[in-house]
Chains A and B, each alone.
Chain A
Amino acid sequence: MASVVVAFTLGGRPVEVLTSPLATLQQVLRGQLGRTSVKDGCRQGGCGSCTVLVDGEPVVSCLLPVQEVAGRAVTTLEDLTPVEGLSRVQRAFLDANGFQCGYCTPGMELATEALLTRNPSPSRAEIEDALSGNVCRCTGYEPILAAVEAAAAAARGEDVR
């Protein structure tokens, strides 16, 4: 099968990749563009560890053919990590111990970013719904939910603790 060229923006910068037309966005981000915060837990849309933002919406990149993002804006956790220090969501996850092994964490944080962009004051039920596609086998989820609540409070200018 002949390779194809796919153009999109990654973290706001234009990129072009030459790839198999069957390649997933996950394969291109991990294998060609070095975005290893995009994890590889199941390749069947079941774990959410490969979550990225496409035009601001969280998607599981393992199920998305890369050709589907032509002309669209892709964001991975690398793009939201400041050169110095941490983003508000990262700070909240760190302070609340919203992680244990760290493997699901990038996906959890991107799902959180998307949630807080569209809903700055989510209820506990809305947080659970927004993270329902992301599996964590270590924490039991409670510290992750607390981290999201803390990130939302920080974004509203409230005291995180």
Chain B
Amino acid sequence: MTAGLSVVGEPLPRYDGIGHVTGQTRFTDDLAFPGMLHLKVVRSPLHHARVRGVDLSEAERVPGFVRALTHADVPHNVYTILGLIGVEPEEEFVLAEDRVRYMGEPIVAVLAETEAAANDAVARVRLDLEELPAVLDMEEALQPDAPVVTHWGNNTFMYEGWPCRRIRYGDVEAGFAQADHIVEGEYRTSPIEHAPVEPTGAIAVPEPGGRYAVHTNTQALYFSLDNTAIILQVQPNRLHFVGGTVGGGFGGKVDVIVEPLATLGAMRTGRPVRYVFSRQEEMQVSSTRAAETIRIRDGVMADGTIVARQVTNYFDCGAYSRQTPYSITKFAANAAGPYTIPNVHVDAYCVYTNRTPSSAMRGFGVTMGHFAVEVQMDKIAERCGLDPWTVRFRNAHRNGDVKPHRKVTADATLIETMQAAARLVGHELPPELAAMTSAPRDGQEGGR
């Protein structure tokens, strides 16, 4: 199979392995530049507040203080990370203006000669805040009298005019009417912090000719470059992003948080600027996996075949949606799991609350959905008095089957994968399952 190929099928050492085992790999914060300034951020101590005033006078007297940055310094202060792929509206503030919407939201950035001086100056910035009612629960946020989190008016992200990502496939009510059993489940998951051992950070360095080298541990180098260019209103060719070495990411380093402020600091001072999260910031301010509440209602025949599925999911995106609208689209596309269901109805909501913004994390909207779907499969097996393997095999995608988002299955491998898994764990499958393949269903070119 591998004749003529020099790499496929051959175990090769990782190209970065020697650097890693000798400690020679240069991570972002291992770099230092002459004259480098340290940037630290004044953050909201409240979940939701009106910003009435910021007093920098005491901070400015700290030895080593160089300057502060406020929203007035940011050329394009309101942005949306996914604006690059057409997501609207712009909603997140690089630095807060008249309102803060989550505990830890950045209000002022301080630049100083040393990290200690920057921390000292941050501690001496006086905030005049008027606390506002906060909403920290998704179901409360959906009530008509709930405090409004967004600057543009309601607490759900709008998908083409709808308050949720919708899938309408077949007729679920007809499916439920035909079913022998109705199996329902509610699944709730908590926010999860990625907790990479290397904190998020960037160092921006002015280069001759008006360019800025930005050393960053982002997982999304060009995404960060383009968003930084938008926020700073500069041509992308003035930004030279250097990265690729990430000390753990897991999706936690795809938001564009440190690069714009570090680069703005370098522009305003003409000096290299380092902005690296403390461990506390990494744990409490960086985005998390969204909390989700997933409700599934399945119509099931006595033989375990699922004939209808209705799914409602609430994703808590926190104060700003970041990557969550995209996670939800992926969730919706996968709400049926790797199973063929002829009638599917999905409403997946991106709900704003005054919690820490959530964003991407391993699996990107799909992981928690699959957790719910697979527990649901076990419930179906129990209700029908069937072996859980049997329920999964009978519903598994086959080539030619149509998925709820209208894609035709062309590369199904679930049946073969489960057969291999059964062999590996020494589980003997009944003849019906052992004989199955992902080949198209009998007599059906277009699937069921």
Contact = CB atoms under 8 A, between A and B. Distances in A.
A36 interface: yes
Interface in B238-294: 246-250, 278-279
Given A46-B279, A94-B13, A137-B248, A86 B197 contact: no
Interface string B318-332: 000000000000000
B195 A77 contact: no
Contacts of A77: 22-23
A78 B279 contact: no
Contacts of B197: 39, 41-42, 47, 49, 101, 103-104, 135-137
B195 A86 contact: no
A97 B20 CA distance: 10
A91 B26 CA distance: 20
A61 interface: no
B199 interface: yes
Interface string B358-380: 00000000000000000000000
Contact of A99 (B21, B27, B279): B21
A138 interface: yes
B18 A102 contact: no
Chain B contact residues: helix, strand, loop or mixed:
loop
Contact of A86 (B18, B247, B249): B18
Interface residues of A, number: 36
Contacts of A102: 16, 19-21, 25, 247
B97 interface: no
Contact of B22 (A30, A40, A47, A81): A81
Contact of B29 (A40, A93, A98): A40
A101 B23 contact: no
A44 interface: yes
A106 interface: yes
Contacts of A86: 18, 21-22
A39 B21 contact: no
- 9 closest A-B pairs by beta carbon, nearest first, are A37-B23, A102-B20, A103-B247, A36-B30, A106-B23, A42-B279, A77-B23, A90-B21, A41-B197
